[in-house]
């Protein structure tokens, strides 16, 4: 009979609190941390201090709590898959989904098509993937949680109530038509919000981002919602006495007025509020600073408000096998879009077809799609290195101008490189001045939390689930000394701080009695790879994967789920409900 299930020996333990590390052993029993310190081992002196079913030598490694990601969209993937990749291969052991006001519950059978189209447009999850993957064995939000509770995962998941789904559930077609709610509608939204929180939702989410549209260009149902309606959600949180209000403010809106709205919601609910904050590529250059100043004032006034910020540019990828590229909405390309990649490349190598595409213009009913295609000119070619801080001189429009060609002419042959698998990265937000100075300032603010990774969404255009790996390597190791974030502080930013924001008080720290979610990391080797495209979603749907180096082991509830980046097959992850349901 062993004393422990697992002992991690002689690692440099960062407990997630931000305090200095120490060399210590960590022992695990029954999914919890049972001891930290000099736990001992059989040695030549005959001393026998403890034994375990498994021991891992962590000499030379850092030992951290598992990472907590509070901004994901695994709402669909969690119903058809057991591994929540890419997040789980980047040290993440707990995710919060249901962000941005989009999701699949509550939902009546006749409303499924509306929610699918919203998710397809807002989060780039193909309709065919959802049609085959979603089991729809729920209608109410509590039933959705029960369906998730019956499943097993490689990490823990937690859910929020999405406003668009709630609005459609209550108002039906009137919601999609953006009609104002009646008094009875508001009463129902308030009641259902409280019901979802009491059933275990960690919060409620909404969006004011006008780029959140269906693929056809229709605005998501929650957009244009008046403050009175948002207040009903806040009242639901207040009634339940717990939960976080997560919101995407209007990115191009006035920063001061947007923050004023969010502050009123936080005051009304009496609950924490979390919002997205980025440096926009156009518009008010100081909008993010104005928001941070207002956030500081709110903290001084005792309000629990936090801004989710990204540790690198908020950008997207273009490519022939991805959702967007310069010709994605040209009529000629639409005719061959369904073909396998090799066949598309073959057609595009035909001189006559090339001339046809170059003569056409993009056509689509969704202005966001047209804007995205046009923004390809601000992208950069990627090779075999993940370069998130490219040189302006290498941007496609600059190179095309130097070559005396249009962007489309210059990019045409580049798109066909590597059999059509060439990648182009556009650092849209957070890179306005060609550097990450704004990112570093946002990361250093006392009321910000690392977020916005969007795992489980944007399968064909964004791969930011690697944020934790990038953040540690870029800011705690590779940054110049004046910008470097101390490693204990950086680890706290990925563990205890997001866990506290979400109300997940049993994780995010290495301490006796806490949940045994742990990473063993070779810090000097930590690195992100260039993403690759796979077709492993339901119905053969496409998504981007981004592997990492440096994770020697990831442990969830005391069970090793990954060794050196390879899945062990163990699925100890479960649905985590808020404490109002007594299960967190």
Domain ranges in the chain are 67-313+432-569, 316-429
Mean pLDDT of 574-584: 68
Res 584 pLDDT > 70: no
d(CA 154, CA 162): 24
- Would you say residue 94 has pLDDT above 50? yes
pLDDT, position 121: 85
pLDDT exceeds 60 at position 48: no
User: If you average pLDDT over residues 139-162, what whole number do you get?
Assistant: 98
CA separation for the pair 73, 122 (Å, rounded):
11
Helix (H, G, I), strand (E, B) or coil at 298: helix
pLDDT at position 567, please? 98
Q: Do residues 212 and 368 lie in contact, with contact meaning Cβ atoms separated by under 8 Å?
A: no
Q: Is the Cβ–Cβ distance between 141 and 577 less than 8 Å?
A: no
Tokens for 128?
A: 């065919």
Express as a percent the part of the chain with pLDDT over 90: 89
pTM (2 d.p.): 0.95
How many of the other CB atoms lie within 10 Å of CB of 188? 17
Structure confidence at residue 47 (pLDDT): 45
Mean pLDDT for the chain? 94
Query: How many Å apart are CA 97 and CA 149, to the nearest integer?
Result: 14
- Decide if pLDDT at 361 tops 80: yes
List, in sequence order, every residue forming a beta bridge with 450; answer none if it has no partner: 309
Taking residues 498-504, what's their average pLDDT? 97
3-class DSSP string for 396-457: HHHHHHHHCCCHHHHHHHHHCHHHHCCEEEEEEECCCCCCCHHHHHHHCCCCEEECCCCECC
Residue 322 has pLDDT above 90, yes or no: yes
For residues 74-86, give the mean pLDDT.
Answer: 96
Q: What is the mean pLDDT of residues 284-304?
A: 97
Q: What is the CA radius of gyration of the chain?
A: 24
Percent of the chain residues topping a pLDDT of 70: 98
Asked if pLDDT for residue 541 goes beyond 70, the answer is yes
Residue 211 pLDDT > 80 = no
Identify the CA nearest to 369 among candidates 456, 460, 247: 460
Is the pLDDT reported for residue 45 higher than 60?
no
Q: What is the pLDDT of residue 41?
A: 63
Tell me the per-residue pLDDT of 381-432, one tens digit each, with 9 for 90 and over: 999 999 999 999 999 999 999 999 999 999 999 999 999 999 999 999 999 9
Helices marked H in 224-330: 227-240, 255-269, 287-300
Q: Residue 538 above 80 pLDDT?
A: yes
Q: How far apart are CA 256 and CA 299, in angstroms?
A: 16
Give the rounded distance of the alpha carbon of 562 from its chain centre. Answer: 20
| Dist CA 8 CA 39 (whole Å) | 10
Identify the residue with better confidence: 353 or 176.
353
- Of 390 and 579, the one with more pLDDT: 390
Contact between 245 and 235 (Cβ < 8 Å):
no
Question: What per-residue confidence (pLDDT) applies to 42?
Answer: 52
Question: What CATH architecture applies to the domain 67-313+432-569?
Answer: Alpha-Beta Barrel (3.20)
CA distance 408 to 430: 26
Q: Is 200 left (phi over 0), alpha (psi -120 to 50) or beta?
A: left
Local structure of 95: helix, strand or coil: strand
Reduced 3-state DSSP string for 503-572: CCCCCCCCCCCCECCEEEECHHHCEECCCEEECCCHHHCCEEECCEECEEEEEECCEEEEECCEECCCCC
Distance CA 282, CA 428 (A): 10
Q: Which of 155, 65, 89, 90 is nearest to 490 (CA)?
A: 65
Q: For residue 6, which of 566, 579, 561 has the smallest C-alpha distance?
A: 561
Residue with tokens 């729920």: 138
pLDDT digits (tens, 9 = 90+) for 463-492: 999 999 999 999 999 999 999 999 999 999
Position 449 scores a pLDDT of: 98
Mean pLDDT of 73-78: 96
Residue 582 has pLDDT above 60, yes or no: no
- pLDDT tier for residue 562 given thresholds of 50, 70 and 90: very high
Model confidence band, residue 217 (pLDDT cutoffs 50, 70, 90) = confident
More confident residue, 433 or 500: 500
| Interatomic CA distance for residues 479 and 302, integer angstroms | 33
Task: Give the pLDDT of residue 305.
Answer: 98
Does the pLDDT of residue 583 top 50, yes or no? no
Contacts of 73 (CB under 8 A, 6+ apart): 97, 98, 99, 100, 102, 123, 125, 454, 455, 456, 457
Residue 562 sits at φ, ψ, to 5 deg, of: -140, 135
pLDDT of res. 219: 79
What is the structure's pLDDT at 98?
Answer: 97
Q: How many other CB atoms are found less than 10 A from the CB of residue 109?
A: 8
Q: Count other Cβ atoms within 10 Å, centred on residue 423.
A: 24
Q: What is the pLDDT of residues 157-207, one digit of tens each?
A: 999 999 999 999 999 999 989 999 999 999 999 999 999 999 999 999 999
Q: Model confidence at 87, in pLDDT bands (50, 70, 90)?
A: very high
């Amino acid at each position: 009979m062993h004393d422990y299930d697992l002992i991690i020996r002689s690692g440099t333990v960062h407990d997630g609190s931000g305090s200095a590390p120490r060399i210590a052993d960590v022992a695990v029993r029954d999914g919890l941390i049972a001891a930290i310190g000099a736990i001992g081992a059989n040695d030549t002196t005959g001393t026998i201090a403890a034994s375990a079913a498994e021991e891992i030598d962590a000499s030379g490694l850092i030992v951290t709590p598992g990472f907590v990601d509070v901004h994901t969209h695994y709402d669909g993937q969690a119903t058809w898959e057991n591994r929540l990749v890419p997040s789980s291969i980047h040290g993440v052991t707990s995710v919060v989904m249901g962000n941005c006001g989009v999701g699949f519950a509550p939902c009546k059978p006749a409303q499924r098509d509306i929610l699918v189209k919203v998710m397809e447009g807002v989060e780039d999850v193909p309709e065919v993937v959802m049609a085959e993957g979603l089991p729809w064995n729920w209608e109410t939000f509590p039933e959705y949680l029960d369906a998730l509770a019956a499943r097993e995962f490689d990490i823990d998941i937690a859910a929020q109530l999405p406003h668009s789904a709630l609005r459609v559930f209550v108002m039906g077609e009137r919601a999609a038509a953006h009609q104002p709610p009646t008094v009875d509608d508001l009463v129902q939204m308030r009641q259902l919000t409280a019901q979802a929180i009491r059933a275990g939702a960690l919060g409620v989410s909404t969006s004011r981002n006008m780029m959140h549209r269906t693929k056809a260009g229709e605005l998501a149902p929650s957009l244009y919602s008046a403050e009175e309606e948002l207040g009903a959600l806040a009242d639901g949180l207040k009634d339940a006495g717990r939960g976080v209000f997560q919101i995407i403010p209007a990115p191009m809106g006035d920063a001061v007025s947007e923050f004023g709205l969010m502050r009123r919601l936080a005051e009304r609910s009496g609950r924490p509020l979390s919002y997205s904050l980025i440096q926009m590529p156009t518009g008010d250059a100081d909008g993010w600073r104005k928001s941070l100043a207002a956030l500081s004032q709110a903290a001084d006034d005792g309000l629990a408000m936090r801004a989710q910020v990204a540790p690198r540019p908020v950008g997207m990828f273009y490519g022939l096998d991805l959702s967007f590229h310069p010709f994605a909405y040209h009529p000629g390309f639409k005719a061959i879009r369904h073909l396998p990649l090799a066949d598309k490349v073959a057609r595009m190598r035909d001189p006559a077809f090339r001339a046809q595409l170059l003569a056409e213009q993009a056509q689509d009913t969704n202005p966001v799609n047209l804007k995205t295609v046009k923004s390809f000119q601000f992208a950069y070619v990627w090779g075999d290195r993940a370069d998130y801080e490219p040189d302006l001189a290498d941007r496609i429009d600059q190179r095309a101008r130097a070559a005396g060609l249009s962007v489309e002419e210059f990019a045409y042959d580049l798109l066909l490189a590597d059999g059509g698998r060439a990648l182009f990265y556009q650092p849209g937000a957070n890179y306005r001045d060609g550097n990450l100075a704004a990112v570093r300032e946002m990361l250093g603010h006392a009321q910000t939390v690392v977020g916005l990774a969007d795992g489980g969404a944007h399968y064909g255009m964004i791969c930011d689930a690697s944020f934790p790996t990038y953040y540690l390597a870029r800011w705690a190791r590779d940054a110049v000394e004046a910008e470097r974030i101390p490693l204990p502080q950086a680890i706290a930013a990925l563990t205890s701080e997001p866990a506290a924001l979400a109300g997940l008080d049993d994780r995010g720290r290495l301490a006796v009695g806490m949940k045994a979610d742990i990473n063993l990391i070779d810090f000097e080797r930590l690195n992100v790879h260039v993403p690759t495209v796979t077709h492993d979603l339901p119905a053969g749907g496409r998504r981007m994967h981004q592997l990492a180096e440096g994770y020697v082991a990831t442990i969830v509830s005391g069970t090793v789920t990954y060794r050196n980046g390879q899945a062990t097959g163990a699925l100890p992850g479960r649905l985590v409900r808020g404490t109002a349901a007594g299960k967190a």
